[in-house]
Amino acid sequence: MIASLHRLYSFRRCPYAMRARLGILFAGLQVELREISLKNKPSQMLAISPKGTVPVLQLIDGRVIEESQGIMLWALQQQDPQGLLDTSVLQQAKALIEKNDNAFKPWLDRYKYADRHLEMTQLEYRQGGEVFLQALEALLANKPFLLGSKASVADIGIMPFIRQFASVDKGVFYNLPYPNLQQWLENWLEHPLFLQAMTKFTPWLAGDSTVTFPLSKDLNFT
Ligand SMILES: N[C@@H](CCC(=O)N[C@@H](CS)C(=O)NCC(=O)O)C(=O)O
């Protein structure tokens, strides 16, 4: 019998939900997972978060965190064995995540769905997004992670979006002059906690038995 757990509404392919799941994994927490389908959002999720986006975390005490950054930070504030919230880089990390969400993401969406945004060409959208890629490339010039020699919340908060940018056209991405960023992305794609964050779950239906994330067999005791 599983004691009461915080409950995460998530969608596997959503980059915002990925950063929330990465936060939970790096914190070494376990939550109840409700995988959703964006086309058929559960009424239980909409009741606690009417804006209808994932991820949403419902805490045991009833509080609801309905922004991915908030979930990531909350998880790592509970425990942070790898120091992703290192105070020496935290403000810089938050600023970089804001840039990702507010400046880069709109270019990414238009690059990905250029056929729905005919005001500019796909190349122009890609180049708009590359301004952020260039900034990341410069940060990675002399260190393995965005803000130093170890991972910070900036890496896990931004990585899912760079993955999505690369996936629009991998041939194009890997031919861009950003070798440090390409290597950084490759390293993250192979990271055991990222692989764990991408575990497949079938969408939750009322009455299903509790599913945990990570699955108990995958819990890390390191
Ligand atoms: N600002 C939100 C954005 C989350 C978001 O936009 N998630 C997308 C999926 S990637 C979503 O749920 N969209 C609602 C929909 O497509 O109906 C956050 O950081 O959590």
* 105 & 70 share domain: no
Position in ligand 1 atom list of the atom nearest CA 54: 12
CA distances from 39 to 20, 42, 53, 203 (A): 21, 10, 11, 11
Residue 202, domain CATH: 3.40.30.10
Mutate to test the pocket of ligand 1, among 13, 41, 53, 158 (most ligand atoms within 8 A of CB): 53
Taking the C-alpha atoms of residue 156 and residue 97, their distance in angstroms, rounded to an integer, is 10
Tell me, in angstroms, the distance from the centre of ligand 1 to residue 137's CA: 27
Report the domain count for the chain: 2
Q: Is 7:32 a contact under the CB 8 Å cutoff?
A: yes
150 and 60 housed in the same domain? no
Distance 192 CA to ligand 1 centre (A): 25
Of all protein residues, the one whose alpha carbon is nearest to atom 9 of ligand 1 is 14
Which atom number of ligand 1 is nearest to the Cα of residue 13?
A: 10
CA of 54 to the centre of ligand 1 (A): 5
Structural domain contains residue 2: no
- My answer on whether 95 and 184 are in the same domain is yes
Sign, Cα dihedral of 138, 144, 145, 149? negative
Residue nearest to atom 13 of ligand 1 (CA): 53
Residue 163 per-residue DSSP state: H
pLDDT for position 219: 82
Report the alpha-carbon distance of residue 16 to residue 68 in Å, rounded. Answer: 6
Any idea what DSSP says for residue 34? Answer: E
Ligand 1 atom closest to the Cα of residue 52 is 14
Residue 1 lies in a domain: no
Q: Ligand 1: which residues within 6 Å by Cβ?
A: 11, 14, 16, 38, 52-55, 67-69
Quote the pTM value.
0.97
| Structure confidence at residue 3 (pLDDT) | 66
170-201 tens-digit pLDDT: 999 999 999 999 999 999 999 999 999 999 99
Residues 97 and 176 in one domain: yes
Q: Write the CATH number for 128.
A: 1.20.1050.10
Q: Which domain holds residue 16?
A: 7-81+196-218
User: What pLDDT sits at residue 110?
Assistant: 98
Domain presence at residue 168: yes
Report pLDDT for 222: 47
User: Do 206 and 162 belong to one domain?
Assistant: no
200 shares a domain with 182: no
Nearest CA residue ID for atom 6, ligand 1:
53
Which amino acid residue places its CA nearest to atom 11 of ligand 1? 53
Residue 150: inside a domain: yes
All residue ranges of the chain with pLDDT < 50 are: 1, 222
- For residue 49, is it within any domain? yes
Q: For residues 56 and 14, state if they share a domain.
A: yes
Residues 103 and 75 in one domain: no
